[in-house]
Structure 1
Amino acid sequence: MSDEPKEGLDRRDFMIASLAAVGASAVLASSAGPAKAQDTAASAGDAPQGTVFTGDVIEGKKVVSSLDVNDLEPGQRHLLYFQGAQMPTGQHWHVSVTVAKGAQPGKRVVLTSGVHGDEMSNIQTVQTVMNQLDPTEMSGTVMAVTDIARPALESMQRRWPNQGRGPDLIDMNREWPGNENGLTAASRHAGLLFNRLLRPNADFAIDFHTGTTGFEVTGFNIGEMDVPEIKAMLELYPVGQIFDNPTYPGVLHNAFIDAGIPSFTPEIGAARVLDLEMIALFVEGTMNVLKHHGIVAGPMGRTGKDVTVFVGNSAFPILATAGGLVEHLVKLNDKVKAGQKVAIQRNSFGEVVAEYTSGVTGEVTGQRSDAMSEPGNPLVFILFNKAPPEGAEAYPE
């Protein structure tokens, strides 16, 4: 999510933003866009074709620096490590790769999670899907990468701890498609993964996320409903909200789309926890997608037709104007009207120092879960279907 508010953003202008400040590296990356794009293209063209084994074995699993799932034995499950960017010590960050290679040919899907290090329900969603697959009964291939931002996951923090120009935190979901020769380890890691692991093995892709630390979201999907292939997949999930928006350019699902690969992002509730009830909904929807593409057989589960789905094309942010304890007057998924009071805030004496109202009519899609807030923190996001009123701030992710 970008922390830079803008006025009156419509669907195409609306960018998804982090709920914390964007680092200097993100600014540098955006200002160096053309050069970065050229370098990334060159890196992609130089990437080795086919599968390259490094010769290393970690915990009994072979390590690859490049993967072509066509090289793997069909009808089997393959557990590998992919060699990512180097640490300051010169060792590599290795990410876990699970491939369910069907006995019969078919579509190839990539499922990713762990792009943010404080997101847990998305990881278990992907793991649960993979554990339900029987390669001997499949047509096609499902590849899962569940721990993309390894150094962030090690400390369960949202951003990649970069050691370039002094300690820095980089939101890896602003780095895609990355650059193998980039200015940061996070950019190089993204470039290696995208060029040598993700893009070459995807006919479509799903990048799973959750809310961020201190800010909880509903279960919803982010994707562009005007792209038929994406719309068809979005509607196969039994979840109540769809954010119909292209979002920020540097997120992983947009890198797939830019490469001609239909993709979208599920958002699965709160960070740092396992929401088993919500995970089950997204497992069911993802299995529906695999059935839709003929990868697995069987009847469809529940879809969007079985629930009430609210589709919005923008999100209205309500930002704190004071410091203090926050009391929410609405819940996630509640319908709200323009002018409705949604939260109040009290100082250390218990005095009400701020009251917050919605500027739009829509549904609550996110709320601050930390009880205290300082000025500028997002408190509530309202999913809605028209441009914000003049002067409103729009917080994009």
Structure 2
Amino acid sequence: MQNEPKDGVDRRDFMKSAIALVGASSALVAQAGTAYAQNANAPAAGAGTAHGTVYTGDVINGKKVISALDVNDLPPGTKQMLYFQGVQMPTGQHWYVSVIVVRGAKPGKRVALISGVHGDEMSPVHMIQTVVSQLDPAQMSGTVLAVLDVSRPALEAMERRWPNSSLGIGLIDINREWPGNENGSSAPSRHAGLIFNRLLRPNTDYALDCHTSTTGMDITSFNLARMELPEARAMAELFPIKQIFDNPAYPTLLANALINVGIPAITPEMGPPRVLDLQMIPSFVEGTMNVLKRYGVIAGPMGRTGKDVGIFVGNSAHTVMSSHGGFVELLVKPNDTVSPGQKVAIQRNTFGEVVAEYTAGTAGQVTGLRTDATAEPGIPLVMILYQSAGRENPEDYSE
């Protein structure tokens, strides 16, 4: 009845975890091929040079629509609210992405704040809104580019993945598509390509791509960051949060796509999905303001950092998977320190009989927990962050 404790990470468990949490993008394999161009003027994928801001001539709710952005075209000392024209819907209209550009009165670094890559992630949107509300462009040097709702159709349904209509209705995780392909084989791939080539890459020196857990799971506050990269390490350590996961994870994450073109980036992960965690958000606001201070975008003393809260750093994760179906009772909480063999959950059937007991396979800290009261076999129940001698393969982390 018991999950056997394991030393390190079981590859099969993590692959099951990845499927359970986020699914596999069926378009990923096909992405390498060519498809018909969305339009004849689409630039080649990977083109990252700004060629000027392009206004479509449309206005939505008083906000101008753009199909490309060069922040240098906008007046210094201003805050601009725009819609970016993304990929077309099946009906031929477009998905629009909400963009706020806060351009300082003086030149300086450009920092991108991104949310909405997954549609069930609410706290990052509120966090970025809070940061932007505190910025005075007249007192700033450089630019803050806030991109709030990357996967608009997923956000409309509060669904993690993009509902794509290529083969009936399938769900595609756009965070397995970056840097995208403007001529790709799915709408999410093309949308990612448009945003990456025409919005993010030409206007970003440093980036925070903000996320939460997926529906059915809760996580603690942590930064997913490649700590071997000096600027990624520096940004990650500026947040007064509980944990850092030192791991590249999937190569197709937005943060990795940005890093691959020379833009330091990390992935802040802020708690549960589908809600505004008003207790957790302020710590990420404080950390983000610290990042802006580090790069001279705003002035002022640093707030609290990871050193002030005793941040825990791990480079690997162990997932305790359900072996049975039934009702789950968790025996640990986020950030709890656990030891090998410690009981972390039990499971009962509808008669109340215990059908499974689950133990930790390694020492570390709890970083994720299932929130649904029931689970089928093969569902992640507890995720434990730990430090190992060798960092696990990125494909074994279920972001």
TM-score by length of 2: 0.91
Which whole-Å CA distance do the structure 2 matches of 1:220 and 1:43 have between them? 32
Matched with 2:251 is: 249
Residues 155-195 of structure 1: CA distance to partner in whole angstroms, max 9, x if unpaired? 11111000001110001110100000000000000000000
Matched with 1:328 is: 330
Preserved CA contact (<8 Å) 2:117 2:150: yes
Matched with 1:4 is: none
SS in 1 for 2:327: strand
Would you say 1:149 and 2:151 are equivalent positions? yes
Matched with 2:45 is: 43
Would you say 1:125 and 2:100 are equivalent positions? no
Which whole-Å CA distance do the structure 2 matches of 1:174 and 1:123 have between them? 20
SS in 1 for 2:362: coil
Matched with 1:376 is: 378
Which whole-Å CA distance do the structure 2 matches of 1:318 and 1:28 have between them? 32
SS in 1 for 2:197: helix
2:102 partner amino acid: A
Which whole-Å CA distance do the structure 2 matches of 1:124 and 1:266 have between them? 14
Quote the offset at 1:49 in angstroms. Answer: 1.0
Query: What is the aligned counterpart of 1:281 among 274, 283, 292?
Result: 283
Preserved CA contact (<8 Å) 1:211 1:269: yes
Matched with 2:89 is: 87
Quote the offset at 1:269 in angstroms. Answer: 0.3
Which whole-Å CA distance do the structure 1 matches of 2:110 and 2:318 have between them? 36
% same residue = 64
Query: What is the aligned counterpart of 2:292 among 290, 293, 312?
Result: 290
Superposed, which structure 2 residues align to 1:1-397 within 5 Å? 17=18, 19-29=21-31, 32=32, 42-45=44-47, 49-386=51-388, 394-397=396-399
Counterparts in 2 of 1:255 and 1:135: CA distance versus 1, 3 Å: same
Preserved CA contact (<8 Å) 2:249 2:396: no
SS in 2 for 1:209: coil
Counterparts in 2 of 1:215 and 1:46: CA distance versus 1, 3 Å: closer
Structure 1: unaligned runs, 5 residues or longer: 1-6
SS in 2 for 1:49: coil
1:349 partner amino acid: F
Which whole-Å CA distance do the structure 2 matches of 1:342 and 1:357 have between them? 5
Preserved CA contact (<8 Å) 1:224 1:230: yes
Quote the offset at 1:46 in angstroms. Answer: 9.1
Structure 2: unaligned runs, 5 residues or longer: 1-6
Quote the offset at 1:220 in angstroms. Answer: 0.4
Preserved CA contact (<8 Å) 1:9 1:387: no
Aligned length: 380
Residues 176-226 of structure 1: CA distance to partner in whole angstroms, max 9, x if unpaired? 000000000000000000000011100010000001100000000000111
Preserved CA contact (<8 Å) 1:317 1:395: no
1:184 partner amino acid: S
Counterparts in 2 of 1:48 and 1:199: CA distance versus 1, 3 Å: closer
SS in 2 for 1:177: coil
1:277 partner amino acid: Q
SS in 2 for 1:276: coil
TM-score by length of 1: 0.91
Which whole-Å CA distance do the structure 2 matches of 1:333 and 1:44 have between them? 39
1:293 partner amino acid: Y
Preserved CA contact (<8 Å) 1:8 1:387: no
Preserved CA contact (<8 Å) 2:45 2:180: no
Which whole-Å CA distance do the structure 2 matches of 1:323 and 1:251 have between them? 32
Residues 324-377 of structure 1: CA distance to partner in whole angstroms, max 9, x if unpaired? 000001100000001111000001111100111111100000000011000011
Preserved CA contact (<8 Å) 2:180 2:191: yes
1:350 partner amino acid: G
4+ runs of 1 displaced by more than 2 Å? 7-10, 14-18, 23-29, 39-48, 393-396
Counterparts in 2 of 1:297 and 1:367: CA distance versus 1, 3 Å: same
Quote the offset at 1:43 in angstroms. Answer: 3.0
Quote the offset at 1:270 in angstroms. Answer: 0.2
Preserved CA contact (<8 Å) 1:317 1:394: no
Counterparts in 2 of 1:211 and 1:101: CA distance versus 1, 3 Å: same
Matched with 2:4 is: none
Which whole-Å CA distance do the structure 2 matches of 1:186 and 1:47 have between them? 22
